[in-house]
Structure 1
Amino acid sequence: MSGDQTAPPVSTIDPYEYLQIIQNSDGTIKRLYEIPSTPAAPDHNGSTPVITKDVTLNPNHNTWVRIFLPRQALDNTSTNNSVGNTKLPLIVYYHGGGFILLSTDSTMNHDFCFNMALQLSAVVVSVEYRLAPEHRLPAAYDDAVEALHWIKCTQEKLLRDFADYSKCFLMGTSAGGNIAYHVGLRASTAVGDFEPLKIKGLILHHPFFGGSKRTESELRLLNTPVLPLCSTDLMWKLALPIGVDRDHEYCNPTVGDGFDQFDQIRELGWWVVVTGCDGDPLIDRQMELVEMLKKKGVKVKAQFNEGDYHGVELMDATKANALFVFLMYFLEKC
């Protein structure tokens, strides 16, 4: 698991060029690449299988959510004349991007949530949170928790009429998986604050964790074309509070009091799903988290695939469909 720390690893990749960013003198960054985006489609003519709608979360922070509702839920309501028969599991989703890039409306994130809502017959609420370094951690965690409070109180019909608040799952990809983990820790100690939301589990999809000591997979995949080590180092440098290193609890789940909070997750009976692959430099840290959870008696389901790369399901629809089949079993089990 552990790597040699005697000398810093030598990378052949410029992380700023790789991430297409420039650091400004005031500590902010300029994002050079214009990432394709997809607008929401309320769909007034019945042409899309999933209805999407954007709703403001916090105008002061410019945060918002995008709701994904399978059209079949509306059709069932019309047929049965009973909203109660159509309520679907609720997945609160946090996108990836190393805390510094991407958005809920980035096409890759939109398409992933669109297909997930359709394939899992679930209501998906994708959260737009503040990015670092303009808003360093824990800003993203705070926004993610605020979204849960908004969901529990909102009168938005797409949620009130169609989402089953007793079957809520927190899910995230990469940095979003890190967010789902930390939001889960917070929520597990204050479950009453989120009623009527009842969280059943966490889905950590290729979760983004780190640490000061290198792992074997980080060194083995030092210059991988997808998420090279120098890029994750830079992401953490820009995202973590100023003055701390990668052994801060936001980055490294083996430090801090997170381990003690697993007791609460176990007592609540939550499931934790962790998915990853052997082509991801982060796999050793993900597997280490799984072992920690198991030692604490938390119900864990892990799936680590061979031959894939970090975030592959956002790029490959076939891989995404296989993931959704796996998650369908998990949702039904819960």
Structure 2
Amino acid sequence: MDIKVEIADFKLEQAMDPDAEVERDLSPFLRIYKSGRVERQLGTEVLPAGTDPATGVASKDVVLFDPDAGLWVRLYLPDLAGCTPDKRLPVVVYFHGGSFTVETAASPTYHNYLNSLVAEACVLAVSVNFRRPPEHPLPAAYEDSLAAVRWVTETGEAWIAERGDLGRVFLAGDSAGGNIAHQVALRAGAEVLGGGAVIKGLLLIHPFFWGAELLGSEDPVFGESIDSLWRLLCPGTTGLDDPRVNPLAELAPGLGSLPCRRVLVAVAEKDRLRERGRAYYEALRRSGWEGEALLLESEGEQHVFHLHNPQSDKARAKLRAVVDFLTAEE
């Protein structure tokens, strides 16, 4: 057979293979093939749990409920020699970012960040590994995250039972994780949590929010990409005024129903999501919510800059502000 014919046949066969033909290219995050196979391009590296030599923070993984369900958490405990003796630690439930689709609780980005946060703040952290779209469309991540919060408040797990203060629970997350933290706070606030748990605070770092109507300096082209992504993440959505992506939409629950009494919203000047964070903060202050709302703005910085360059002066200042928020005495 002629070599040119062989090459042509090979290319035709490759083009007809649904496991090799790209249906949606969402680089640099992931590609989806016609077979349904998902190729993630970011957040695939993992680090094992253990004791971090730099901070002395210990971590371990715990599978929740059914091992086949894919829901697990990574717990972090600081070196207690550096904490106040005999004092129980605030519990921070953390939801990782990554556009809902990439990164995990074992990603180096989040493992290293939480080691630093736990060491600086002397808190007990629970990093949630939820199911991700597109294999598990929303609301799966919300359901998993709420289930993890319930587990934290009801479990007899040794670190939480012996060292955690369930009267000081904080929900926190960045980007998509900030979106999840807000949604979980609303849902958890509508029920009685076990163990006498109290959600004291909500920490939203560069939260993934959007809406059908553009705000301020928002880019319409970027808005179109958010719309396309959101419809992939949440196939049953009504669009960008779905309360799950737009907490200020007409049909969204009022922010005054948040169960906590302290909220910190962090935004960055060059982050294309910044207008949404600012609008959330302003709406919260106008809502009649009886609590303390704080806005932390980082000038000249991009989305989740503190994760990409954690040793920079601004990243260190941001970490200090987060620590102060978690440890402030009421």
Q: TM-score, normalised by structure 1?
A: 0.82
Does structure 2 conserve the Cα–Cα contact (< 8 Å) formed by 1:280 and 1:310? Answer: yes
Aligned length: 301
SS state of the match for residue 166, structure 1? strand
Q: Decide whether aligned partners of structure 1 residues 97 and 202 sit closer, same or farther in structure 2, where only a CA change above 3 A counts.
A: same
SS state of the match for residue 91, structure 1? strand
Q: What residue identity is the alignment partner of 1:204?
A: L
CA distance, structure 1, for counterparts of residue 70 and residue 304 of structure 2: 26
SS state of the match for residue 27, structure 2? helix
Q: Decide whether aligned partners of structure 1 residues 151 and 275 sit closer, same or farther in structure 2, where only a CA change above 3 A counts.
A: same
Picking from 308, 321, 328, the partner of 2:323 is: 328
1:239-269 CA deviation, whole Å, 9 max, x = no partner? 1233531221111112254343x3333xx55
Q: Decide whether aligned partners of structure 1 residues 136 and 271 sit closer, same or farther in structure 2, where only a CA change above 3 A counts.
A: same
1:4-29 CA deviation, whole Å, 9 max, x = no partner? xxxxxxxxxxx935324222235563
Picking from 41, 57, 62, the partner of 2:70 is: 62
1:283-308 CA deviation, whole Å, 9 max, x = no partner? 11111111111111333111112100
1:138 Cα shift? Answer: 1.1
Is 1:117 paired with 2:118? yes
CA distance, structure 2, for counterparts of residue 264 and residue 128 of structure 1: 26
Partner of 1:40: 49
Does structure 2 conserve the Cα–Cα contact (< 8 Å) formed by 1:217 and 1:280? Answer: no
Q: Decide whether aligned partners of structure 1 residues 162 and 40 sit closer, same or farther in structure 2, where only a CA change above 3 A counts.
A: same
Does structure 1 conserve the Cα–Cα contact (< 8 Å) formed by 2:154 and 2:194? Answer: no
SS state of the match for residue 254, structure 1? coil
Picking from 221, 242, 245, the partner of 1:248 is: 242
1:49 Cα shift? Answer: 0.8
Does structure 1 conserve the Cα–Cα contact (< 8 Å) formed by 2:42 and 2:102? Answer: no
Picking from 61, 67, 79, the partner of 1:71 is: 79
Q: Which has the higher contact order (CA 8 A, sep 6+)?
A: 1
Q: Decide whether aligned partners of structure 1 residues 167 and 174 sit closer, same or farther in structure 2, where only a CA change above 3 A counts.
A: same
Structure with greater Cα Rg = 2
Q: Decide whether aligned partners of structure 1 residues 147 and 118 sit closer, same or farther in structure 2, where only a CA change above 3 A counts.
A: same
Higher alpha-carbon deviation: 304-313 or 236-245: 236-245
Q: What residue identity is the alignment partner of 2:134?
A: P
SS state of the match for residue 166, structure 2? strand
CA distance, structure 1, for counterparts of residue 74 and residue 300 of structure 2: 32
**Residues 1-334 of structure 1 aligned to structure 2 (within 5 Å):** 16=25, 18-25=27-34, 29-33=38-42, 35-41=44-50, 49-58=56-65, 59-72=67-80, 85-190=86-191, 192-219=192-219, 232-242=226-236, 244-255=238-249, 257-260=251-254, 262-265=255-258, 268=259, 270-298=261-289, 299-317=292-310, 318=312, 319-331=314-326, 332-334=328-330
Segments of 4+ moved more than 6 angstroms: none
Does structure 2 conserve the Cα–Cα contact (< 8 Å) formed by 1:217 and 1:283? Answer: no
Q: Decide whether aligned partners of structure 1 residues 22 and 291 sit closer, same or farther in structure 2, where only a CA change above 3 A counts.
A: same
CA distance, structure 2, for counterparts of residue 291 and residue 28 of structure 1: 42
SS state of the match for residue 320, structure 1? helix
Q: In angstroms, what is the RMSD of aligned CA positions?
A: 2.4
Partner of 1:3: none
CA distance, structure 2, for counterparts of residue 25 and residue 105 of structure 1: 29
CA distance, structure 1, for counterparts of residue 76 and residue 294 of structure 2: 26
Q: Decide whether aligned partners of structure 1 residues 49 and 246 sit closer, same or farther in structure 2, where only a CA change above 3 A counts.
A: same
1:11-57 CA deviation, whole Å, 9 max, x = no partner? xxxx93532422223556322456322110157xx885100100002
SS state of the match for residue 309, structure 1? coil
Q: Decide whether aligned partners of structure 1 residues 172 and 121 sit closer, same or farther in structure 2, where only a CA change above 3 A counts.
A: same
Does structure 1 conserve the Cα–Cα contact (< 8 Å) formed by 2:29 and 2:102? Answer: no
1:149 Cα shift? Answer: 1.4
CA distance, structure 2, for counterparts of residue 324 and residue 171 of structure 1: 13
CA distance, structure 1, for counterparts of residue 54 and residue 113 of structure 2: 19
SS state of the match for residue 111, structure 2? helix
Structure 1: any 5+ residue segments left out of the alignment? 1-14, 223-227
Q: What residue identity is the alignment partner of 1:54?
A: D
Q: Decide whether aligned partners of structure 1 residues 101 and 234 sit closer, same or farther in structure 2, where only a CA change above 3 A counts.
A: farther
1:134-158 CA deviation, whole Å, 9 max, x = no partner? 1111111111110011112222211
Does structure 2 conserve the Cα–Cα contact (< 8 Å) formed by 1:277 and 1:304? Answer: yes
Q: Decide whether aligned partners of structure 1 residues 294 and 127 sit closer, same or farther in structure 2, where only a CA change above 3 A counts.
A: same
Higher alpha-carbon deviation: 134-143 or 15-24: 15-24
SS state of the match for residue 37, structure 1? coil
Q: Decide whether aligned partners of structure 1 residues 112 and 34 sit closer, same or farther in structure 2, where only a CA change above 3 A counts.
A: closer
